[in-house]
Amino acid sequence: MSMKKRVLTGIQPSGKLHIGNYFGAIKRMVEYQASSDLFLFVANLHSLTTLQDGERLKKMTLDAAIDILALGIDPEQCHFWIQSDVPEVAELTWILSCLTPMGMMERATTYKDKIAKGISPNLGLFSYPSLMNADILINQADRVPVGKDQKQHLEMARDIATKFNHQYGKVFVIPEPDIMEEIAIVPGTDGQKMSKSYGNTIPIFGTEKEIKKAVMGIVTDSKGVEEPKDPKTCNVFALYKLFASQSDVKVMSERYQKGGMGYGDAKKALLEVIQNHFEPFQAKRVELEANPKKVEEILQMGAEKVRKVSLETLEKVREATGLHY
């Protein structure tokens, strides 16, 4: 039995991955995979709250799985599955929702945020944290990586687990938050935080032409070639720092401050480090996409592994709640 801490996280399928997604989530998951007992799933049941187009959800779910595998998640080293392939989570969601106070759901900030963005309210969106609680608790997660903005979700899972254990006897591990300190915000091509909603992303798996167009379109100030430039305020340099070695960053910083280098040259240097970094991942993605049967096998194997854990937890829950008779 592994003594590593069990870390659980889910990624919603949401279209083309960009550099911000990589540094904000995927790269960290690859690190957790090496140091922890990682449980990582594609959260397609969560996506149903806002996406009701069957063909699109199906495609986005498979694309997300292929992206994650291509970027270094190894199904031999972790538990990796599609959320809907483990139906036990839906049963636990119902059981937990019967213990969840309405007031707790009403205080959920994510629901309010989504309604404020104009998303049409539905019961699934409202009770979204109940499904999240079930994801965490059914897998007996020790730690859940969350940003500061999502800490409330984990507090709900802790409260419900504590309430259940008090009412029925200890069944659930009480999960701890693994607060992810914000890495330097990855700037988009316009200088704001890189985000699909701002349309300012640099895609990881775009064509060479798409990636080049995005990089060459990064907003800079209007200083001429000969003028010294400030690396600290430049979006191109901020992105370059994420990829280049310390010695290369130092050289680039000196070239900025000395003058004689235009932003066009800086963008070409950035494009080169991006291409070098993602080239092996892009090749792996092409290989996986050409072999959908292999991807299906990986996902089935992952679901089978996870269902052993889920069923064991659910059996205890059924027993404790009187659903076994």
Secondary structure class of 179 (helix, strand, coil) = strand
Listed in sequence order, the residues at least 6 apart from 84 whose beta carbon sits closer than 8 Å to its beta carbon are 44, 45
Choosing from 5, 27, 196, 268, the catalytic residue is: 196
Q: How far is it, in rounded angstroms, from Cα 306 to Cα 290?
A: 26
CA distances from 205 to 17, 44, 202, 247 (A): 7, 21, 9, 27
- Quote the strand ranges of 43-133, DSSP E: 79-82
**Is 196 an annotated catalytic residue?**
yes
Rounded-to-integer distance, Cα 17 and Cα 10, Å:
15
Q: Is 250 a catalytic residue?
A: no
Catalytic residue flag (residue 193):
yes
Query: Which listed residue (193, 212, 223, 284) is catalytic?
Result: 193
Q: Give strand ranges (E) for the chain.
A: 6-11, 37-42, 79-82, 143-146, 176-179
Q: Copy the structure tokens of residue 180.
A: 């992810």
Task: Provide the phi-psi class of 322: left if phi over 0, else alpha when psi is between -120 and 50, else beta.
Answer: left
Active-site residues, by number, are: 114, 193, 196
